[in-house]
Structure 1
Amino acid sequence: MSASDLSSVPAAELPVETTGSVVLLDVREDDEWQHGHAPGALHIPMNEVPSRLGEIDQDAELYVVCKVGGRSMQVVQYLARIGYEATNVDGGMDAWHAAGRPVVRDDGAEARIL
């Protein structure tokens, strides 16, 4: 399955609020997440996705994001192979932030995308 067979969406077209049936899966590393992430996103670093599949709602509208879109596309490809429907976020968190989308930190400090 090639990347062109998988769906992707520009960050600016995503729903801002991810609740209920919409899940934004952030697959960046812990340090990237801690500096800033989308409100309500589910954080599972890329290398932990296979062992943490139980945390991902298979029936949700699933969007996968990383910093610029490379790692998230690999995760979308993996999820598609095992039966999940997932959409890559083009441009990743860089594009999310550039589109004026909210970015938060768990500790309340000023958020930024690394």
Structure 2
Amino acid sequence: MTSPEVSSVPVEAVPGEFDQTERVAADAPRVILLDVREDDEWDLGHAPGAIHIPMVDVPARVDELDYDAQLYVVCRQGGRSFEVVKYLTYIGYEAINVSGGMVAWQRAGRPLVADGDHQAKIY
């Protein structure tokens, strides 16, 4: 999905390090990967260091996001994250949609982790 009002990047353009607590360098913004998939999708596998807030919960939990962070939003294939980026942009955040979502993430060989004793996978 593309739109002039929504910034999107391919998974290869997403930085590989996500720091949830502090900036990597003093002058660099925090990088946040916000995963907006449902709990069962997250449980199957997700990017290491990502923050999980299901799409439906984003408006109620938006204060958990750092307004000054470099914010990338991902879902399974890009539709939900596209809508969340539109919302976040509307309320003043500078958010970027991750095109192709976690399916593209896995296909690109980006790292995945899962909670529990099963192998992480998206599809």
Which TM-score applies when normalising by structure 2? 0.88
Q: Shift of residue 63 of structure 1?
A: 0.1
Query: Out of 37, 45, 48, which is 1:36 matched to?
Result: 45
Give the length in aligned residue pairs. Answer: 113
Which TM-score applies when normalising by structure 1? 0.94
Unaligned runs of 5+ in 2: 24-29
Residue 7 of structure 1 corresponds to 7
State the secondary structure of the residue aligned to 1:111: coil
Q: Give the alignment of 1:93-108 within 5 angstroms.
A: 93-108=102-117
Identical counterparts, % of pairs: 59
Higher helix share: 1
- Larger gyration radius, structure 1 or structure 2: 2
Q: Shift of residue 42 of structure 1?
A: 0.2
Residue 111 of structure 1 corresponds to 120
Please provide the CA RMSD for this pair: 1.2
Distance 2:93 2:58 in 1: 12
State the Cα deviation string for residues 6-48 of structure 1 (Å, max 9, x = none).
Answer: 2110001211111130000000000000000000000000000
Do the aligned residues in 2 keep the contact of 1:18 with 1:24 (CA within 8 Å)?
yes
Distance 1:108 1:40 in 2: 18
User: Once structures 1 and 2 are overlaid, which stretch shifts more, 23-32 or 98-107?
Assistant: 98-107
Higher relative contact order (CA 8 A, sep 6+): 1
State the secondary structure of the residue aligned to 2:32: strand
Distance change (3 Å), C-alpha of 1:58 and 1:96? same
Runs of 4+ in 1 over 6 A off after TM superposition: none
Distance 2:106 2:100 in 1: 10
Residue 70 of structure 1 corresponds to 79
State the secondary structure of the residue aligned to 1:3: coil
